[in-house]
Amino acid sequence: MFDQLTPFNTAPISGRVGFGDFPICTAPGNLVEITKTQAANGVPSGISGLRLGDLRAGAGANPPNGQALSVNANGDVILVQTALGGGNTTICNTIPINNVTKNVGGNTICETNITDLNPIGFVGINNIVPNDALDVNLLPGSTSGDIDINNSTSRYEINDNPVLWHKGNINDLFLGVGAAQNSSVSNNNTIVGHDASSQQLNIGFNHTILGAEAGYNHAFGHDYTFVGYRSGWGHPGFLYTNTFLGAYSGEMETGAENTYLGWSAGQNPSGGQSMHNTFVGHRSGANINTGSSNTFLGYHSGLNNTVGHSNVMLGDFADLGFNNLNNAIALGSFANVMNSNHMILGNNTVNVGIGLSGDLSGPQTKLEIDAGLLGTAAGGTANPGASGFAFS
């Protein structure tokens, strides 16, 4: 027996040798046993008292035979196979205290979770028979089974992509990967869709933006309603009160107080700033640039107009002959007006009747007026000498 108080003695005791601070190591249980005074006596625990000087730092990462010394549960020094790549340990990231870790290959340890180490099909919270990956039920005696994220800036994610959050403002709702992803100033906004309203820091207030890439680039402004894929995509914001409904509607429009309804309605490919337009119909007013105060209603209506203002086109393909007419009106399918301050009623195959409502024959010429001379006008009576047409 050898200790710091007893001189070296070569006499064996039961064929075993013990090293340690007296009287800790008085009856060694192994052929060689080292027992160190524990922390209670002022020596740090976890130190065996055995030091192999030739295995210090810098003496080499691997034993020549690919094995290393280790300690079993009883404290016995044993030889074990080293992991491929050597005895150094790599940590994926800084692992939080009390978190779960796992070896992901070689000597690499990473942060993980319990279900990763012990995979299970379904997880139930207050539910002993879950049938979903996560199945939440009410607490006994509770009226709520909600899942609450207490950090107001956190979000619900799918595959590490944020899909539902409000960035700390309960007046906002952002839904979709990339929705309002860069915004830092926002209020009373509902943004739904992949990359909707995604590029700017200040996206203004009172917006309803729905659709992938809808309102993609807008900033500031208020009271926008963009609904549909790329609706209002290039609108820079700054202004107010546009309503675009339909895929590509108002896609590059930069103006304000416009109402565009239909696929590519008011698309504005040149990115001009127009105001006070109402376009309804598939591609209605799709080529507008800076023209304002126009009303186009019908499939492909008003396609030729780019800079004209105060025009009215009513009917499918109702249009202007030139792109810069003002105060021109075309009423009817394929009606086409060629000059400012003109009105065209119908296309060239149309006869117009006045006072012929209910007349089975209808107008027989381009313009026919029936003042009731023969009593044929609905509710009319004979009125000899009156043509129904007067100059003043």
Domains of the chain, residue spans: 1-41, 95-140, 351-392
Whether pTM exceeds 0.75: no
10 Å CB burial of residue 48 (0-12, 13-18, 19+) is: exposed
Average pLDDT over residues 73-79: 65
Q: Is the pLDDT confidence value at 86 over 70?
A: no
Question: Which of 9-13, 17-21, 65-69, 258-262 has the least mean pLDDT?
Answer: 9-13
Q: Is the pLDDT of residue 347 over 80?
A: yes
Burial (Cβ within 10 Å: 0-12, 13-18, ≥19) of residue 17:
middle
Query: With pLDDT > 90 as the criterion, what percentage of the chain qualifies?
Result: 40
Distances (CA, A) of 286 to 157, 280, 282: 38, 10, 9
Residue type, 256: A
Position 279 pLDDT exceeds 70: yes
Averaged over 10-17, what is the pLDDT?
59
Predicted confidence band at 132 (pLDDT cuts at 50, 70, 90)?
confident
Q: Which carries the bigger pLDDT value, residue 217 or residue 140?
A: 217
What are the phi and psi torsion angles at 133 (to 5°)? -55, -40
Q: Which of 159, 157, 250 shows the shortest CA–CA distance to 209? A: 250
- Order across the sheet with 90-91: list the strands: 90-91, 108-112, 100-105
- The residue ranking higher by pLDDT, 47 or 144, is 144
Model confidence at 375: pLDDT above 60: no
CB 257 within 8 A of CB 225: no
Judge whether residue 134 has pLDDT over 80.
no
Task: Tell me the residue ranges of DSSP E strands in 114-271.
Answer: 123-125, 134-136, 156-158, 161-165, 173-175, 185-187, 190-192, 202-205, 208-210, 225-227, 243-245, 259-261
- The CB-side HSE value for 318 (13 A sphere, CA atoms) comes to 24
Residue 30 has pLDDT above 80, yes or no: no
For the chain, what is the mean pLDDT?
A: 79
| pLDDT attached to residue 7 | 47
Give the tens place of pLDDT for each residue, 157-175. Answer: 888 888 888 888 889 899 9
